[in-house]
Chains A and B, each alone.
Chain A
Amino acid sequence: MGADQESCTVFHRRKSRDHKRAAKSVAGPDAELLAELRGALDPARVRYDSAERSLFAHDASVFEGGLAGPVCFPTSTAEVQAVVRISGRHGRSIVPRGAGTGLAGGAIPLAAPVVVSLTRMNRILEVDRDNRVAWVEPGVINLDLSKTLRPLGFHFAPDPSSQQSCTIGGNVANNSGGPHCLAYGVTNAHVRAIEVVLASGEVVMLGGLDPEPPGYDLRGAFVGSEGTLGVATRVAVTITPNPPAVRTLLMAFDRVEAAANTVSQVIAAGIVPAAMEVMDNRITRAVENFVHAGYPTEAAAVLLAEVDGPAAGCDIDAERIATIGRAEGAVSVRLAADDTERDLLWKGRKTAFGAVAQIAPDYYLHDTVVPRSRLAEVLEKVYEIADRHGVLVMNVFHAGDGNLHPLLVFDRREPGMLDRVHAAGAEIVEASIAAGGVLSGEHGIGVEKQDFMDRFFTADDLDHQNRLRHAFDPTCRVNPGKVIPVGHSCADIQALRSVPTGVWG
């Protein structure tokens, strides 16, 4: 499925390669660094060949310009410490990395840092039912965790579309969401404690399993910091009981506005569904061609709404949502008859981005949030902007949160196309800010939206964000050049200049 599927493929290819490739000695400016890293880790888990470095210079975003130094695959906290300390001694930055499914460039290495890939730290260490937590290593894949928990009656609530390939460490870095975060909350609400290797190489435990751990909420500050405060090496995540009943409604509308208004009205009526997702006609057609879930391809928009919990309350809320939808002009309301039908509907929603591959080879998925009451108006603006730039836009989004995901679909071989895509994207972000929204709901800032940060925050605000970051890492050697515009942080500039001359790119 689009970027997700691609990174998934990449991940598997990488795994199979690991066994075949032996370490080679390298001459040049990184020789000493490499020798030390290969002294600390099995040399087969420290890579420096061009294919590997090229692969790790990218994530699932469209951004180019990354440059990876040595790529390390530690298997323990102690090995992460060793990599961080060795890198520090050589004056080199590090960038932690999960599955590379990020869409904002947060894991793209800038200026040849040592890449710390955490995919080999992928054990579920303990499921502690008394404390309702699972202790996991950062490389555990989101869906693998939920699959493991399912027979025990639990799941991990955040469910990003990339959940088949994204990692818990990546979810922590990005404070990831997903359709079901409407009722359950995003990753920050589900992380209790994090073991972190700091830039200094020291290990700290942030937070705790108790409800109100003493001290500043460093755990809360770490989640969503896009890998800039340290490397998470163990995470205690809350496990959520599986709901006994689920009702999934598919409503079709002949106007996108009516779907958006239904979402606002449901919230206004005091119902907080587990999920409320909207897909426009273009994406619905693409999805239906792809998964054959019985999505109404003539509708201008479809709304997928789900409630869960005890059965009786589910029936009450589902009926109320259906009534609101009909009052807003729903042309059809369908209740998924069973789990099979429900799974098919969700498969359609979650593979939406893969479905567009039939239409054009490239896409750029945006991510902004606007007040729910302004969804319809901002959507109209999104279509207008894309039309004006001659770019095809499709909309599939977490409507319940007001979280827009305009999907710009294009062929980058077309001359000037990438420029038009970026120009349209910038206008979409501006339109969202103008409507009282924010830059990102769940993808993060990374490098993608850095230059918009001072449209949203003052220099003083950004300075305070830097003060937080500098308390963890005064030299900004962990993932430098991300989130805060580089001009606002001297330490970042220094870290980004730390590439030894002659490093081969």
Chain B
Amino acid sequence: MAGRAASSGPPALETHDPVLAAFAAEVGVEDAVTVAGGRTRWDRGGPLAAGARELAAPAGIVAYTPAEMTVVVRAGTTVAELRHELGAHGQRSALPERGGTVGGAVAVGENHLDRRARGTVAVSVLQVRYVSAEGRLITGGGPTVKNVTGFDLPRLMTGSLGTLGLLCELILRTNPIPALSRWLAADGADPFAVDAALLRPSAILWDGARTWVHLEGHEPDVAADIATLGGLGSFTEVGGPPELPCHRWSLEPGRLRSLGREGLPADGLPAAPFVASVGVGTVWAAGAQPMPEPAAALAAISRQLKDNFDPTGRLNPGRRVGW
């Protein structure tokens, strides 16, 4: 390429961090290892192979700049501590508030109940630092809210259950906490009509009979939405969302209309009791979602990915991502 300027000097990102280096040394290079967070989703991806050495990721909030809407946080920090620290500055993250650690939440990749307002966990992960199967500290992504510098390792690591690398530090995007938050519920209200009528609800939940709506925003906007809801059912204010059954399903949002209908084949849909996130497609149900076999070419890429990142299979052995 004509005239392309050459670079000089060492990498600009500070890569030597004694805490992370110590974690990398602990991971080592040989035996089977796993990282335990809060164990809130310990069975996700199947049982861990026996004999894997259990480690804890480094913990602590490294840097938090509210005006940048970013936070640098070690993977072993609890989600509760992060929530508390961000909340003190009027901000929040996209991580689900269900206990456990930040690293665990990112490794599992479940989105918040209010995903429609907070965005996905994947989108919120700006930078990952993890220890590779070879015991090396790897950085992917970058510290700014917008970045297309290189391949998107943060996306790959989110939801990968620690099978490609062991997370030790993350940079997350934060967002302001809206001025007002209200949960309302009504029996018999059509959740799909609610979805069509509201511009930006934070969540619409439905158990086949009752509809819950989470509204967040400026006071007059929330008031206007509450007035709209008045035309769609007898909504009354409630303390929060209903209790959610323990299994999480992922369905195309358009299919939720078929949930709980008598006489219809329940093909690939969960049986009642369920709570569905309308407009999103997450459904909480009593039984687990059956996983179809992936297409061969897709399975081949996934296997190759695992082989490339963890050639000896020492990272979280036994756990499988999705399939």
Given contacts A64-B1, A65-B2, A312-B218, are A471 and B305 in contact (CB under 8 A)?
yes
Q: Which of A22-30, A330-338, A345-353, A444-452 contacts B (4 or more CB under 8 A)?
A: A444-452
Q: Is the CB of B7 within 8 A of A454?
A: yes
Given contacts A209-B253, A439-B149, are A460 and B2 in contact (CB under 8 A)?
no
- Taking the nearest CB of chain B, how far is it from the CB of A85, in angstroms? 14
Given contacts A63-B2, A436-B143, A471-B308, are A212 and B109 in contact (CB under 8 A)?
yes
Given contacts A438-B143, A464-B140, are A447 and B1 in contact (CB under 8 A)?
yes
Q: Which residues of the other chain, B, contact A120 by a CB distance below 8 angstroms?
A: none
Q: Which residues of the other chain, A, contact B132 by a CB distance below 8 angstroms?
A: 460, 464
- Taking the nearest CB of chain B, how far is it from the CB of A353, in angstroms? 19
- Closest residue of chain B to A426 (Cβ to Cβ) is B5
Count residues on chain A whose CB falls below 8 Å from chain B CBs: 111
- Taking the nearest CB of chain A, how far is it from the CB of B287, in angstroms? 16
Given contacts A63-B4, A188-B152, are A371 and B65 in contact (CB under 8 A)?
yes
Q: How many of chain B's residues touch chain A, expressed as a range? A: 35 or more
Q: Is the CB of A465 within 8 A of B9?
A: no
Query: Which chain A residues numbered 460 to 485 have a C-beta less than 8 Å away from chain B?
Result: 460-462, 464-465, 467-472, 474, 483-484
Q: With A and B bound together, what is the CA distance between A223 and B155 in angstroms? A: 10
Q: Is the CB of B144 within 8 A of A438?
A: yes
Q: Is B115 an interface residue (CB 8 A)?
A: yes
Q: Is the CB of A483 within 8 A of B224?
A: no
Given contacts A221-B156, A447-B1, A467-B308, are A426 and B7 in contact (CB under 8 A)?
yes
Q: Is the CB of A212 within 8 A of B309?
A: no
Q: Is B286 an interface residue (CB 8 A)?
A: no
Query: Which chain B residues numbered 140 to 154 have a C-beta less than 8 Å away from chain A?
Result: 140, 142-153
Q: Is the CB of B11 within 8 A of A457?
A: yes
Within 8 Å by CB of A211, from B67, B123, B282, lies B282
Q: Is the CB of B152 within 8 A of A202?
A: no
Q: Is the CB of A468 within 8 A of B175?
A: no
Q: Is A493 an interface residue (CB 8 A)?
A: no
Q: Which residues of the other chain, A, contact B120 by a CB distance below 8 angstroms?
A: 189, 211
- Taking the nearest CB of chain A, how far is it from the CB of B321, in angstroms? 6
- Taking the nearest CB of chain A, how far is it from the CB of B247, in angstroms? 13
- Closest residue of chain B to A175 (Cβ to Cβ) is B148
Within 8 Å by CB of A217, from B122, B140, B200, B280, lies B122
Q: Which residues of the other chain, A, contact B277 by a CB distance below 8 angstroms?
A: 211
Q: Is the CB of B12 within 8 A of A433?
A: yes
Q: Is A243 an interface residue (CB 8 A)?
A: yes
Q: Which residues of the other chain, B, contact A203 by a CB distance below 8 angstroms?
A: 297
- Taking the nearest CB of chain A, how far is it from the CB of B16, in angstroms? 11
Q: Is the CB of B155 within 8 A of A270?
A: no
Q: Which residues of the other chain, B, contact A210 by a CB distance below 8 angstroms?
A: 250-253, 281
Q: Is the CB of A205 within 8 A of B295?
A: yes
Q: Which residues of the other chain, B, contact A186 by a CB distance below 8 angstroms?
A: 146, 148
Q: With A and B bound together, what is the CA distance between A405 and B155 in angstroms? A: 26
Q: Is A401 an interface residue (CB 8 A)?
A: yes
- Taking the nearest CB of chain B, how far is it from the CB of A225, in angstroms? 6
**A-contact bits for B164-198, CB 8 A (1 contact / 0 none):** 11000000000111000000000000000000000
Q: Which residues of the other chain, B, contact A265 by a CB distance below 8 angstroms?
A: 67
Query: Which chain B residues numbered 286 to 309 have a C-beta less than 8 Å away from chain A?
Result: 291, 294-295, 297-298, 301-302, 304-305, 308-309
Q: Is the CB of A267 within 8 A of B67?
A: yes
Q: Which residues of the other chain, B, contact A455 by a CB distance below 8 angstroms?
A: 7-12
Within 8 Å by CB of B136, from A211, A310, A460, lies A460
Q: With A and B bound together, what is the CA distance between A224 and B154 in angstroms? A: 12
Q: With A and B bound together, what is the CA distance between A213 and B138 in angstroms? A: 26
Q: Is B160 an interface residue (CB 8 A)?
A: yes
19 further A-B contacts with Cβ under 8 Å, apart from A215-B323, A309-B217, A423-B5, are A131-B254, A174-B148, A200-B297, A206-B298, A211-B115, A214-B294, A217-B160, A268-B67, A309-B199, A312-B224, A373-B67, A425-B5, A437-B144, A440-B147, A441-B144, A451-B5, A451-B7, A460-B136, A468-B305
A residues touching B (Cβ–Cβ < 8 Å)?
62-65, 105, 128, 130-132, 174-175, 177, 181, 185-186, 188-189, 198, 200, 202-206, 208-218, 220-221, 223-225, 241, 243-244, 264-265, 267-268, 270-272, 309-310, 312-313, 316-317, 369-373, 398, 401-403, 418-419, 421-423, 425-426, 430, 433-434, 436-445, 447-458, 460-462, 464-465, 467-472, 474, 483-484
Instruction: Pull 19 A–B residue pairs with CB atoms less than 8 Å apart, ordered by A.
Output: A130-B253, A204-B297, A217-B155, A217-B159, A218-B298, A265-B67, A271-B176, A312-B218, A313-B221, A369-B142, A442-B146, A451-B5, A452-B7, A453-B150, A454-B11, A456-B142, A460-B137, A469-B151, A471-B301
